């Protein structure tokens, strides 16, 4: 998708006024936050598991070359193929070539953020392929021609009425002419429509929640079972995954799975956790004839080498956005690209650069809620601050902000000048505001006073009062 992160502020204004969106966002609290809290409270080992999760992911990053090669050799030993892509273009080409070679006409897809990151659907459709998303949320968005607004619940911003409208228009040609108004009816209709598509598809493309080096397996975690159908029924199964997805063993994967569902949806485990290792074996009555894994770098090796290495621990659970007060009122589309919320604000500037996505790094109050729930303890606020450090170094912040900061710092660094200066300023402000106790507007502070009164200073500065009091006592 065309990045819209540079329009962040405009996007925010639109989102805050969008009544439907605001209604939808209210559901994040009940649907995710409360459920997570409830399930975490029943597992006394949860904090230890987070610490362990962090350690496992760090160990992988420290030995990434080993585990990637081990994964590759295990996939090959089981008759699968591993393809390496340095960037989105290469990844798209690999998938397109496979589809072309096997004469594919139709592709069914499980949910994959990597597929979004490399804009795979557009490329396949340009080749004349029929591409169908099978995750219900992704399917809704495909009909709406919108990007996901959440990494776990991609269509969380859509209301039932909007979905009903989309289905009504899209399914009419298939003979479904009733407008539906209940959730069961909507889900059933999608089930029926998509069922035939699974059976027709030549190629199934899924993401990977983890790749297991021990066995060469890819793991997908779903509640719907769509990913499983996508990797069982078509002749060819292609996995699109980034290089950071690998974990050492089945045991390590289990340790992380204990964190994933709880952090993501507040479940102890999802309905389906599926390990696929290679194409179907001799004698297998079902399963794909070909199995491919596309391993994508796309800037991750650069992150591995630098200050954003911790971000590569991410297991894409979405807890950070569910708990982010900013995400909670602006929604995922405001962020303007594939990854929203705190993890997106760290990732997007890494992928698209600070010129495109610099606002994201600043749109955070540093409240720390995200880091406090992250299952692998990524210090998200610190990483956002690292982006700000780079912006400051490259002088990317608005000139006025830089000037104000420099002026402020000059004074703050000189206490002997600071105190008389502040004392004078505060006396004046106090005199101006004492009557009402607050200001309705102040020059240069419109950003505050447009929507908030600004309390007036109480009296003089504490330091001058204190000095006086000490003097009197003496």
Partner 1 sequence: MNKARIGLFVTCLVDLYRPSVAFAAIKLLEDAGYQVEVPEAQTCCGQPAFNSGDFGNTREIARQVIDAFADFDYVVGASGSCIGTIRAHYPDLFENDPAWLAKARDLSAKTYELTSFLTDIASIDTVESSFRGEVTYHDSCSGLRELGVKQQPRKLLDSIDGVSVNEMQHSETCCGFGGTFCVKFPEISTRLASDKVDNICDSRAPVLLGGDLGCLLNISGRLQRLDKPVRVFHVAEVLADMADGAAIGEGED
Partner 2 sequence: MSARERILNRVRAVTADKNGDDPARRIAEPPRLIRPDLGDDLVQRFGEKLTLGGGSLARVQDLQQAVVEIELFIRDAELALSLRAAPALKGLPWGDALEVSFGPSAGDDLVSVTPAFCAIAETGSVVLLSGEHSPTTLNFLPDVHIVVVESNQLVRHFEDAWIKLRESGEIPRTVNIITGPSKTADVEQTLQIGAHGPRKLHVIWIDR
Site for partner 2 in 308-337 (CB under 8 A): none
User: What are the angstrom distances between the C-alpha of 231 and each of 203, 246, 385, 418?
Assistant: 8, 19, 40, 67
Restricting to residues 427-456, which ones interact with partner 1 according to CB under 8 A? 433-438, 445, 447-448, 450-456
316 binds, among partner 2, ligand SF4, partner 1, none (CB under 5 to 8 A by kind): ligand SF4
User: Residue 276 in 3-state DSSP?
Assistant: strand
CB of 458 to partner 2, least distance (A): 46
Q: Does 169 bind partner 1 (CB under 8 A)?
A: no
- Cβ–Cβ under 8 Å, residues 150 and 340: yes
Q: Does 170 bind partner 2 (CB under 8 A)?
A: no
Q: Does 314 bind ligand SF4 (CB under 6 A)?
A: yes
Indicate if the alpha-carbon torsion angle 442, 448, 449, 453 is positive or negative: negative
- Given 18, 84, 102, 170, the residue binding partner 2 (CB under 8 A): 84
For residue 201, give the nearest of 138, 144, 277, 124 by alpha carbon.
124
Concatenating the DSSP letter of every residue in 278-324 gives SSPPTT-SSS-SEEEEEEE-TTHHHHHHSTTGGGGG-----HHHHT-
Residues, the chain, total?
474
- Given 254, 365, 403, 431, the residue binding partner 1 (CB under 8 A): 365
CB of 237 to partner 2, least distance (A): 10
Q: Does 156 bind ligand SF4 (CB under 6 A)?
A: no
Q: Does 364 bind ligand SF4 (CB under 6 A)?
A: no
Phi, psi of 203 (to 5 degrees): -130, 135
Residue position matching structure tokens 């996505």:
357
CB of 98 to partner 2, least distance (A): 16
User: Residue 427 in 3-state DSSP?
Assistant: helix
User: Residue 61 in 3-state DSSP?
Assistant: helix
Restricting to residues 90-129, which ones interact with partner 1 according to CB under 8 A? none
Rank residues 315 and 330 by Cβ distance to ligand SF4 and give the closer one.
Answer: 315
CA distance linking residue 81 with residue 98, whole number of Å: 11
Q: Does 175 bind partner 2 (CB under 8 A)?
A: no
Q: Does 386 bind partner 2 (CB under 8 A)?
A: no
CA distance linking residue 383 with residue 306, whole number of Å: 11
For residue 375, give the nearest of 267, 260, 251 by alpha carbon.
260
CA distance linking residue 356 with residue 329, whole number of Å: 22
Rank residues 104 and 213 by Cβ distance to partner 2 and give the closer one.
Answer: 213
Binding residues with partner 1: total (CB under 8 A): 66
Q: Does 22 bind partner 2 (CB under 8 A)?
A: no
Q: What is the DSSP letter of 397?
A: S
Restricting to residues 375-434, which ones interact with ligand SF4 according to CB under 6 A? 375-376, 378
Q: Of all residues in the chain, what percent are helix, strand and coil, respectively (each to 5)?
A: 60, 10, 30
Q: Does 76 bind partner 2 (CB under 8 A)?
A: no
CA distance linking residue 150 with residue 134, whole number of Å: 16
Rank residues 195 and 431 by Cβ distance to partner 2 and give the closer one.
Answer: 195
Restricting to residues 318-357, which ones interact with ligand SF4 according to CB under 6 A? 318-320, 343
CB of 401 to partner 1, least distance (A): 7
- Given 149, 215, 345, 391, the residue binding partner 2 (CB under 8 A): 215
> How deeply is 64 buried, as exposed, middle or buried, from its count of CB atoms within 10 A (0-12, 13-18, 19+)?
middle
CB of 344 to ligand SF4, least distance (A): 9
Residue position matching structure tokens 């602006």:
330
Structure tokens at 260: 């994933």
Q: What does the binding site for ligand SF4 look like in residue numbers (CB under 6 A)? A: 263, 314-320, 343, 374-376, 378
Q: What does the binding site for partner 1 look like in residue numbers (CB under 8 A)? A: 9, 12-13, 16, 325-326, 329-330, 362-369, 371-372, 382, 385, 387-393, 397, 401, 405, 408-409, 411-413, 415-416, 418-419, 422, 426, 433-438, 445, 447-448, 450-463, 465-466
């Amino acid at each position: 998708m065309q990045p819209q992160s540079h329009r962040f502020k405009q996007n925010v204004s639109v989102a805050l006024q969008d009544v439907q969106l605001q209604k939808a966002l209210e559901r994040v609290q009940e649907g995710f936050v409360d459920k997570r809290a409830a399930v975490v409270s029943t597992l006394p080992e949860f904090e230890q598991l987070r610490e362990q999760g962090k350690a496992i992911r760090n160990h992988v990053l420290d030995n990434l070359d080993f585990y990637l090669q081990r994964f590759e050799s295990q996939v090959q030993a089981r008759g699968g193929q591993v393809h390496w892509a340095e960037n989105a273009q290469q990844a798209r080409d690999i998938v397109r070539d496979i589809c072309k070679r096997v004469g594919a006409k139709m592709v069914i897809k499980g949910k994959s953020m990597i597929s979004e990151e490399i804009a795979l659907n557009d490329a396949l459709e340009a080749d004349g392929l029929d591409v169908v998303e099978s995750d219900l949320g992704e399917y809704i968005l495909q009909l709406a021609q919108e990007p996901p607004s959440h990494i776990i619940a991609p269509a969380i911003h859509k209301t039932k009425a909007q979905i009903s409208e989309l289905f009504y228009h899209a399914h009419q040609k298939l003979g479904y002419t009733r407008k539906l108004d209940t959730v069961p009816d909507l889900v059933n209709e999608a089930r029926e429509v998509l069922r035939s598509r699974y059976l027709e598809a030549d190629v199934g493309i899924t993401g990977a929640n983890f790749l297991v080096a021990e066995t060469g397996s890819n793991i997908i975690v779903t509640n719907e079972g769509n990913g499983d159908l996508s990797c069982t029924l078509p002749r060819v199964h292609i996995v699109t995954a980034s290089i950071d997805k690998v974990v050492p063993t089945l045991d390590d994967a289990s340790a992380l799975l204990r964190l994933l569902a709880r952090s993501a949806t507040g479940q102890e485990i999802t309905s389906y956790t599926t390990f696929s290792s290679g194409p179907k074996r001799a004698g297998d009555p079902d399963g794909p004839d070909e199995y491919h894994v596309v391993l994508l770098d796309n800037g991750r090796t650069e992150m591995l080498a630098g200050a954003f290495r911790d971000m590569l621990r991410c297991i894409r659970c979405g807890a950070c956005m569910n708990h982010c007060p900013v995400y909670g009122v602006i929604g995922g589309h405001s962020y303007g690209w594939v990854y929203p919320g705190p993890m997106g604000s760290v990732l997007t500037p890494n992928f698209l650069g600070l010129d495109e996505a610099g606002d994201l790094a600043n749109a955070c109050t540093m409240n720390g809620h995200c880091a406090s729930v992250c299952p692998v303890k990524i210090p998200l606020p610190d990483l956002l601050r690292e982006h700000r450090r780079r912006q400051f170094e490259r002088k990317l912040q608005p000139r006025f902000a830089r000037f104000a900061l420099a002026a402020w710092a000059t004074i703050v660094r000189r206490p002997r000048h600071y105190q008389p200066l502040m004392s004078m300023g505060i006396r004046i402000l106090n005199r101006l505001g004492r009557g009402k106790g607050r200001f309705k507007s102040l020059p240069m502070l419109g950003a505050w006073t447009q929507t908030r009164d600004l309390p007036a200073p109480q009296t003089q500065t504490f330091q001058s009062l204190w000095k006086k009091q000490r003097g009197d006592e003496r």
